[in-house]
Structure 1
Amino acid sequence: MVNRPSYSGAPVGGALEGVRVIDLTMMLAGPYASMMLADQGADVIKVEPPGGDNTRRIGPHLPGALVQEQGGYGSYFASINRNKRSIVLDLKSTAGLAALKRMIATSDILIENFRYGVMERLGLDDATLTDLNPRLVHASVRGFGDAAGGVSPYRDWPAYDPVSQAMGGIMGITGPVPGGAPTKIGPGIGDIAPAMFAAFGAVAALYRAQRTGQGDRVDISMVDSVLALCERMIYQYSATGVSPGPEGNGHPLLCPFGIFEAADGYLTLGIPNDKFWAIFTDLIGRPELATDPDFATNPSRIANATRTMAAVSDWTRARTRAQISEVLGGHVPFAPVMTAEDIFSDPHFQARTMLSDVAVPGTGDRLQIANTPVRMEHATAGVRTQAPLIDEHAEEILGEFGFTADDIAALGPRTKAVQPGADQKYEKEGTMS
């Protein structure tokens, strides 16, 4: 890693300040990974194809947000591409590919989410990348991985969030009714989990490269990443020979544990042991349930789960979430099930600055986006700058890599080669949730 100043010339104070990342990703899985690096101070250079990342044109859009002819600037794009710089390069052109190679030669991390085999077709195979930069960390996010981690028989299958949720196992254990139909999890966990593993793997490999001078290949499979989240079902099946299915809103090993109805919404309650059960029953005015043999221990409550859950539900349905919070808050594991509106007004998220606002070009307005939860005492982290306009930093970036005015002119027009909204040149893994 080269100790570089931030691109603005002012130190950002992040833990990854001085790390240069070449980001070839689009859609969700890859950009979320590079976002995590950018949030910690890395200089992430987003290399977009002519026409830009498709998510630029995915809404919702604030009134006045840039129109398609300007590349687009939807809220989806704004959320996960903050803290990055943009340059457009046509990697199917000789000049564009040569420019990218020149940038890779002095960078620390390359991250991409092309389909299997695309990097090789572009002439960016592992051997070439190592020749360009022996210290380079090359991280990829693909549906079923790449060759470094083992070649999957499904390597050529396209993969998006529902595919990785389904094959990774998490969809099969999620559903409103125990033993019933599977359900997709709302957020794009099939994209975001691989993104998190990619960011972690890239930083781990970078640490090794700093010590050894040798780069590495970080091979992330979206399906594998979801499976890693489902570790419980793996050991359950190994130990019992029974495949877990949808569990509803409860827990197979603990009771009461799940979602309960209140007079004005829903709440979650988790009683992990008999100590908390005794506290809970005392708080709700039912201390006899802590000594009754049918409810006193977790095994007995599981055996009498219907009656246990009914006793809890009878109490919660008669009260609002605020009333329940006054009784249970701070005493037993409890929380109201919050909507986005609830989150925007809750003091916790304000105190933790989890809602950050960024400017939206063309609107004169600001958009609130979710900040990073990774905070440090000394290093700074989080949203610093809005997501870039398409090709916004091209001349600045190329100048930093030593391109002359003639070199830049030789690249030709980059933002007009493909009409915005047209099909992307390269197939990417990962999509919107």
Structure 2
Amino acid sequence: MEDRMQASRPLTGALAGLRVIDLTQMLAGPFCTQILADHGAEVIKVEPMSGDGTRINGPFREDDSLREFGGYFQSVNRNKRSIAVDLKTTHGLEVVRRLIDGADIVVENFRTGVMERLGLSYERLRETNPRLVYGAVRGFGDPRSGASPYAEWPAYDVVSQAMGGMMGITGPDHDTPTKIGPGVGDTVPALMLCVGILAAVHRVRETGEGQFVDVAMTDCVLAMCERIVYQTSYTGIVPAPEGNRHPLLCPFGLFRARDGWVSIACAHDGFWEKLALAIGRPELVVDEAFATNAARVQNASRVVEAIEAFTRVRTKEELARCIGGSVPFGPVYTSAEIFDDPHYGVREMLVEVEQPGSAMPVKIAGVPIKLSGTPGAVRHRAPLLGEHTDGIMRAAGYGPQDIEHLRGLGAIR
């Protein structure tokens, strides 16, 4: 069953014309390929016969009679087409090999050595497609770029957050490392893999030669936490969790409001002067204990006390009216508050898509990268399993009888 919405809306965007074979599952890989799809690349999601494992993850709408996929899968697989292939069969591998031979990019996040055992290694694939850009994201990277002692270890977001240094500087106090809420141990590597792939695609256009793009989730988290590297190198100090404060800037963090929390960030003394005036404490501008950032860092508790004397008796909305726009400020939002804020509507960051099996559409996060000439877009929902198998096979040169024969053999769905 071809998705009529997709068939009626040709691919547009800065990456239109690029074909991506997506062999990824879970979050890091699919998030990367979705970015490519958002900006016009044709992304063919190659799934096992049982589907990407996240299809069964909720949440589901109460009236969803199909349960083909829940919110997890919907959120990171929009704009893609799905073909179901059994990679354990010779015929299934031949189908995937033909698809890759006609592609610009292949992306996978299998454990080290899996693609080699399938006969789909980068070295084999480039023999017939020398322009191929091959992207891989794994917990500890691929041995081609440096054989990590942990190369065989499986990894998820929580592992890369822990070993990449993020948890070690996050938490309410020095003794309580804390996991970051969203899966940044997956999504940040996905972003970096996307950058690497596009850099390699640019190089292909110059030289005609593809290359292997390797991203380790732990490496990307460490790069995101770059401050801990120079702090330790320059001073010998090992950073620890700082709660809701910043070790080098003050005020820079969270402050209690009457109905929650707000963030205030004064990265230089000019902003501090404006904040002091806004909270009715102009004397803090000339007080030696508060006048400079270095002094405020040394007297951080007193700074927080002075600010919270003002913020904790006012609501987030009241604080936005008197502080917002003067200094870097933002209320700590719940998802309900995000849904209500006009910013996200104007920026098209809450997008409705169809949910198969449900009478009502659902909302997913929109496209954050805005291009003036070739904007990305959410063109259609995530695909049903094998929804586009026939169309993808026909485009690859298979006739109707070939397709039915392969389906009869169990090589495709």
TM-score (norm 2): 0.96
Residue 421 of structure 1 corresponds to which residue in structure 2? none
Deviation at 1:7, TM superposition (A): 7.1
Residue identity opposite 1:320 in structure 2:
T
Deviation at 1:17, TM superposition (A): 0.3
Work out the CA distance in 2 between the residues paired with 1:46 and 1:411: 18
Counterparts of 1:376-387 in structure 2, within 5 Å, are 376-387=371-382
Would you say 1:22 and 2:17 are equivalent positions? Answer: no
2:321 counterpart (326, 332, 356):
326
2:361 is paired with a residue of what secondary structure? Answer: strand
1:267 is paired with a residue of what secondary structure? Answer: strand
Root-mean-square deviation (CA, aligned residues, Å) is 1.6
Residue identity opposite 1:399 in structure 2:
R
Work out the CA distance in 1 between the residues paired with 2:411 and 2:141: 33
Deviation at 1:416, TM superposition (A): 10
Residues 337-378 of structure 1 show CA distances to partners (whole Å, capped at 9, x for unaligned) of 000000000011011010001000111211100012101101
Change (3 A) 1:413 1:357: farther
Would you say 1:368 and 2:363 are equivalent positions? Answer: yes
1:220 is paired with a residue of what secondary structure? Answer: strand
Q: Is the 8 A contact 2:85 2:411 kept in 1?
A: no
Work out the CA distance in 2 between the residues paired with 1:218 and 1:60: 33
Residue 121 of structure 1 corresponds to which residue in structure 2? 117
Residue 350 of structure 1 corresponds to which residue in structure 2? 345
Deviation at 1:150, TM superposition (A): 0.8
Work out the CA distance in 2 between the residues paired with 1:159 and 1:82: 24
Determine which structure has greater relative contact order: mean sequence separation of CA pairs < 8 Å that are 6+ residues apart, divided by chain length: 1
Would you say 1:158 and 2:151 are equivalent positions? Answer: no
Deviation at 1:243, TM superposition (A): 1.1
Residue 64 of structure 1 corresponds to which residue in structure 2? 63
Q: Is the 8 A contact 1:391 1:415 kept in 2?
A: no
Deviation at 1:298, TM superposition (A): 1.1
Would you say 1:299 and 2:294 are equivalent positions? Answer: yes
Say which is worse superposed, 369-378 or 409-418, in terms of deviation. Answer: 409-418
Change (3 A) 1:32 1:414: farther
Counterparts of 1:5-404 in structure 2, within 5 Å, are 8=7, 10-67=9-66, 72-177=68-173, 179-404=174-399
Would you say 1:405 and 2:404 are equivalent positions? Answer: no
1:411 is paired with a residue of what secondary structure? Answer: helix
Residue identity opposite 2:255 in structure 1:
F
Work out the CA distance in 2 between the residues paired with 1:40 and 1:66: 32
Change (3 A) 1:203 1:414: farther
Work out the CA distance in 2 between the residues paired with 1:185 and 1:174: 8
TM-score (norm 1): 0.92
Work out the CA distance in 1 between the residues paired with 2:112 and 2:394: 32
Work out the CA distance in 1 between the residues paired with 2:57 and 2:409: 21
Residues 170-220 of structure 1 show CA distances to partners (whole Å, capped at 9, x for unaligned) of 11111112x121000010111111111111111111111111110110011
Q: Extract unaligned runs of 5+ from structure 2.
A: none
Deviation at 1:288, TM superposition (A): 0.6
Deviation at 1:12, TM superposition (A): 3.1
Deviation at 1:417, TM superposition (A): 8.9
Deviation at 1:64, TM superposition (A): 3.1
Residue identity opposite 2:60 in structure 1:
H
1:412 is paired with a residue of what secondary structure? Answer: helix
1:8 is paired with a residue of what secondary structure? Answer: helix
Deviation at 1:326, TM superposition (A): 0.9
Q: Is the 8 A contact 1:51 1:416 kept in 2?
A: no
Q: Is the 8 A contact 1:95 1:410 kept in 2?
A: no
Work out the CA distance in 2 between the residues paired with 1:22 and 1:42: 10
Residues 118-169 of structure 1 show CA distances to partners (whole Å, capped at 9, x for unaligned) of 0011011222111121100000111111122111111100101111111111
Work out the CA distance in 2 between the residues paired with 1:13 and 1:48: 25
Deviation at 1:386, TM superposition (A): 0.4
Work out the CA distance in 1 between the residues paired with 2:409 and 2:49: 6
Residue identity opposite 1:235 in structure 2:
Y
Work out the CA distance in 1 between the residues paired with 2:120 and 2:404: 24
Residue identity opposite 1:136 in structure 2:
L
Residue identity opposite 2:361 in structure 1:
R
Say which is worse superposed, 6-15 or 59-68, in terms of deviation. Answer: 6-15
Deviation at 1:286, TM superposition (A): 0.9
Work out the CA distance in 1 between the residues paired with 2:86 and 2:128: 19
2:407 is paired with a residue of what secondary structure? Answer: coil
Q: Is the 8 A contact 1:14 1:380 kept in 2?
A: yes
1:111 is paired with a residue of what secondary structure? Answer: strand
1:315 is paired with a residue of what secondary structure? Answer: helix
1:335 is paired with a residue of what secondary structure? Answer: strand
Deviation at 1:273, TM superposition (A): 1.2
Residues 37-95 of structure 1 show CA distances to partners (whole Å, capped at 9, x for unaligned) of 00101000000001101111100001232546xxx211110110000000000011011
